[in-house]
Amino acid sequence: MSKKKATTRSSAYTMVQHVWDHVQEATGHSWERLNAAMADALGLAIKAGLQFDKDDFRDVFDNCRGGYWGSHGTGAWEGYYASAIEYGNASAVQSFEAWKCRPPFIVDSVSPRDWSGPKTRVCIGTRFYWRGDHVTVTSFATDGTTFIACSYEPPKDTDSYGRGKIKKRHTISVADIRSDRKDRKERAALWNALLDWQGNCDKKAAAVTRVLKKFEISSYPDCFTVPLDTFREAVDKLTPEKS
């Protein structure tokens, strides 16, 4: 009769499970020590670049009573996700996303004057430009389909390093990110065309100035205050073949 082959677990899960099985063997019991040890073990597995399997975050939470210690000193479980992104541990990132049924939300880490840039996986605290607004990620939907990013008013106290009141709250999906990327690419092309005509085409310079004045556009971020169809139509009228 053949023996059933034992399941081999990942190095990350093995380490965290080992700490759970043997924590406080040589000391007296302390919930504070246990919670800190487990949080440190999981954090170390991520930062050390240990390999995670797809089900590891789920199993650590279920088998090691993660509901009791998972928020200890790390900003809750989302802190582990942020750490995995920061340290480039893709296996930990993917394991967390599988546990949360969350697709990767990858945005362009763009400057307000450009439409392209290095792509960034968002986590709590990620900052990026969204439709002309500088926003910060604040939470994820429990069903994994969207996340919330907010822009803020300047703080009333000019010496304050904190945030002012929420200016706008955006609910963003993967489809929204793709649509926004396409939108920004077209707006940038329209904006660059206006700048080119304004600087190199004497005949069009006055017309370009009128368009910019009409829509109160003085810089690229201002382009987002104008509906794309309206902006496109105004620029289209200035194209050489239609002027």
Give the domain-ending residue among 173, 190, 215. Answer: 173
Tell me, yes or no, whether 5 lies in a domain: no
Residue 170 CB contacts under 8 Å (≥ 6 apart), including other chains: 130, 131, 133, 135, 148, 149, 150, 151
Residue 117: the pLDDT is 58
Residue 144 has pLDDT above 80, yes or no: yes
Tell me, yes or no, whether 212 lies in a domain: yes
Percentage with pLDDT > 90 across the chain = 55
Residue 116 has pLDDT above 80, yes or no: no
Tell me, yes or no, whether 3 lies in a domain: no
The mean pLDDT value for 60-65 works out to 94
Q: Are residues 144 and 188 in the same domain?
A: no
CA distance 189 to 176: 20
Q: Is the dihedral of CA 228, 233, 238, 239 positive or negative?
A: positive
Tell me, yes or no, whether 45 lies in a domain: yes
The number of folded domains in the chain is: 3
Q: Are residues 93 and 114 in the same domain?
A: no
Q: Are residues 34 and 94 in the same domain?
A: yes
Residue 241: the pLDDT is 52
Give the domain-ending residue among 100, 125, 145. Answer: 100
Q: Are residues 150 and 197 in the same domain?
A: no
Residue 113 has pLDDT above 60, yes or no: no
The mean pLDDT value for 5-12 works out to 83
CA distance 20 to 41: 9
Give the domain-ending residue among 173, 192, 210. Answer: 173
Do the beta carbons of residue 184 and residue 176 sit within 8 Å?
A: no
Q: Are residues 190 and 152 in the same domain?
A: no
Range of the domain at 118: 106-173
CA distance 204 to 6: 75
Q: Are residues 46 and 83 in the same domain?
A: yes
Residue 160 has pLDDT above 60, yes or no: no
CA distance 127 to 111: 11
Residue 75 has pLDDT above 70, yes or no: no
β-strand pairing of 106-108 with 119-121: antiparallel
Percentage with pLDDT > 70 across the chain = 87
Q: Are residues 144 and 196 in the same domain?
A: no
CA distance 224 to 207: 20
Q: In this structure, what are the phi and psi dihedrals at residue 17, rounded to the nearest 5 degrees? A: -65, -35
The model's confidence at residue 55, banded by pLDDT at 50, 70 and 90, is very high
Residue 240: the pLDDT is 60
Q: Is the dihedral of CA 230, 235, 239, 243 positive or negative?
A: positive
Q: Are residues 40 and 121 in the same domain?
A: no
Q: Are residues 146 and 123 in the same domain?
A: yes
Q: Are residues 124 and 94 in the same domain?
A: no
The mean pLDDT value for 53-60 works out to 97
The mean pLDDT value for 197-221 works out to 83
The mean pLDDT value for 142-146 works out to 95
| Range of weakest confidence among 36-50, 134-148, 223-237 | 223-237
Residue 13 has pLDDT above 90, yes or no: yes
CA distance 107 to 126: 10
Tell me, yes or no, whether 158 lies in a domain: yes
Q: Are residues 150 and 229 in the same domain?
A: no
Residue 119: the pLDDT is 84
The model's confidence at residue 132, banded by pLDDT at 50, 70 and 90, is confident
Tell me, yes or no, whether 6 lies in a domain: no
Tell me, yes or no, whether 4 lies in a domain: no
The mean pLDDT value for 54-79 works out to 85
Q: Are residues 153 and 211 in the same domain?
A: no
The mean pLDDT value for 75-84 works out to 88
Tell me, yes or no, whether 226 lies in a domain: yes
Residue 134: the pLDDT is 87
**Full-model pTM:** 0.81
